[in-house]
Structure 1
């Protein structure tokens, strides 16, 4: 039997989908995870999502949907975590292509459902920004989630919306979505994270990393992203809630607006109108800035000195943990240097590594 999980925002939501499948359904059923190839600029230097033509080695599942096997490769300069996920996780990863808007995504969903005949369909979002109304000042990336929500709401099959780790993406505080959250279907545990433990060692997703960390018992305040957003890690953070799909759509004004869109540019225009911006515009601007930056030499002594300064600064804000993505950007390094930085820090100060997060050292 097959279970279909739609990763609402792509990226780390696909990793969380693999963890949730193992936690909820065990290993008896086959997981098909439908997700964008939309990685942050740390992985993919090109703004926006990738389409099937940006890969070699894809396998056709339906006329509209391709799977991403382990041997697939993004065509340079594009990057993608999906082939490695396919190599390391026991799931079929199918590619969502939003370039034909919500209407195109709905067609892809319909064709995939007809092909694999899943016994359940879940739409998973880590953090809860899929419940955003669109005008929240902390909202950063509403478009990807709004597109999948709009598509799932038009599917003539029952879809269960799941929100894992409310607030962990730093986009909406937990209290902003509490009234919409339904019952807890799973309180994730350290045992549940075993399914993705290897992936967490290299995948840059912050929200899913925080979800796994809290499932393992980490508590405190974690600073994430380039903006240094503070995220509380509490006893409620590992919860997976069911949410009424229609309630989510009634809140999400962007999803309502893009229901009939036929291309990504049109959906982007609605995002600018409803939310005041497009996350792809942000990626375009940041990509231009990153291209102008020169790589910095990872001198261990210099890095340790800069890290000490960074930790002293964030301690004044009550921060107890951070992510390697945050450290990479705070130290002015390029995204491609994240893995080497991570290895350097863990090797030099292993006691501060609370996988997959970095614990801020106590004041000397």
Structure 2
């Protein structure tokens, strides 16, 4: 049997899709194709926005307009992508969603894949739940990719199940906002479900999927994420996977409704500016321009420890118990290229603070107290 899983938001949802495939459909002969954007949000790729098939060499073919992405594929300079390394780590087949032909193009890709593979099931997976955003929420940061896949999946001539994992973990809509919109619990992820992707989580920069995995392993508390340092609760709800009606999601998501017949990414951006008040690719363009003027230097470990002490003191005062290495890199004013170096240094110097794949903020035990966790 072949399963198709559409990763609504990009690379982090790919890792969650691999968890989902193993947890819901098991191993054996069951196969899966994970459809995803190549969109690494400047963490790996210095070029703003998503990549298309034209940005890679070594792609395969699953259907006339669907390119598979094996581990031997490479992004063309100056672009970057985590997908080849993901393809090497994961046993599922990765295939590239191309948003540059708008929703019409993604509908065509999905339709061709269904015709070629006749899949047993099609799941649309979003970690966090911002696929259910109206579009006017002040906390919304990245609605474009999710709205595009939602709009396309609603037009495919095949049954598609919408699944939301870890409500609120993307730091955009809170679990309280999402709770009335969610349907039945399909599964609660466990530490065992994380095992197939544990090696990937050691290097992949996704925050939401990293928190999903940590919550599945039993981590609870408040995690600080993104460049703005948003606090995200890790609760008993965090490792759950919910089913949501596809049509009800479309009725709620104004951007997805508006872009259903678009044929270019530029059109989708224009609708996002009109409905949400911004295009996240504009934000990336501005940020990329700033980063070009800040060439990375060597990692100064003494400065890192001083800055870390200040960061943890301020985090404790806000009730923060954990953070992601992505946020920690930005909070310590380091270039994204240093994220791996920072992680290796901290895991070597303070391994007791690693709550895989998060960094644990040790609470202040007071004068003379023991700062270790029980």
In the alignment, structure 1 residue 151 sits paired with structure 2 residue 152: yes
Matched residues in 1 for 2:110 and 2:271: separation? Answer: 22
Q: TM-score, normalised by structure 1?
A: 0.99
Matches of residues 185-204 of structure 1 in structure 2 within 5 Å? Answer: 185-204=186-205
Matched residues in 2 for 1:114 and 1:281: separation? Answer: 36
- Paired residues, number: 364
1:10 matched to which residue of 2? 10
Matched residues in 1 for 2:302 and 2:335: separation? Answer: 18
Where does the alignment leave 5 or more consecutive residues of structure 2 unmatched?
366-374
- The 4+ residue runs of structure 1 with deviation greater than 2 A are none
3-state SS of 1:103 partner = helix
Matched residues in 2 for 1:151 and 1:174: separation? Answer: 25
Matched residues in 2 for 1:314 and 1:177: separation? Answer: 26
Moved more, 286-295 or 65-74: 286-295
- The Cα of 1:294 is off from its aligned counterpart by 3.0
Q: Is the 8 A contact 2:129 2:173 kept in 1?
A: yes
Q: Is the 8 A contact 2:152 2:260 kept in 1?
A: yes
Q: TM-score, normalised by structure 2?
A: 0.96
1:213 matched to which residue of 2? 214
Matched residues in 2 for 1:19 and 1:79: separation? Answer: 24
Q: Is the 8 A contact 2:169 2:238 kept in 1?
A: yes
Matched residues in 2 for 1:289 and 1:315: separation? Answer: 30
3-state SS of 1:213 partner = helix
3-state SS of 1:118 partner = coil
Q: Is the 8 A contact 2:296 2:337 kept in 1?
A: no
2:38 matched to which residue of 1? 37
Matched residues in 1 for 2:300 and 2:135: separation? Answer: 43
Matched residues in 2 for 1:151 and 1:183: separation? Answer: 23
Q: Is the 8 A contact 2:325 2:358 kept in 1?
A: yes
- The Cα of 1:278 is off from its aligned counterpart by 0.5
**What is the CA deviation profile of residues 92-111 of structure 1, one whole-angstrom value per residue up to 9, with x for unaligned ones?**
00000000101110001000
- The Cα of 1:292 is off from its aligned counterpart by 1.0
- The Cα of 1:116 is off from its aligned counterpart by 1.3
- The Cα of 1:13 is off from its aligned counterpart by 0.4
Matches of residues 240-279 of structure 1 in structure 2 within 5 Å? Answer: 240-279=241-280
- The Cα of 1:301 is off from its aligned counterpart by 1.5
Matched residues in 1 for 2:322 and 2:297: separation? Answer: 24
In the alignment, structure 1 residue 228 sits paired with structure 2 residue 244: no
- The Cα of 1:293 is off from its aligned counterpart by 1.0
- The Cα of 1:362 is off from its aligned counterpart by 2.0
Matched residues in 2 for 1:36 and 1:335: separation? Answer: 20
1:110 matched to which residue of 2? 111
The CA RMSD over aligned residues, in Å, is 0.7
1:20 matched to which residue of 2? 20
1:140 matched to which residue of 2? 141
- The Cα of 1:35 is off from its aligned counterpart by 0.4
Matched residues in 2 for 1:180 and 1:118: separation? Answer: 28
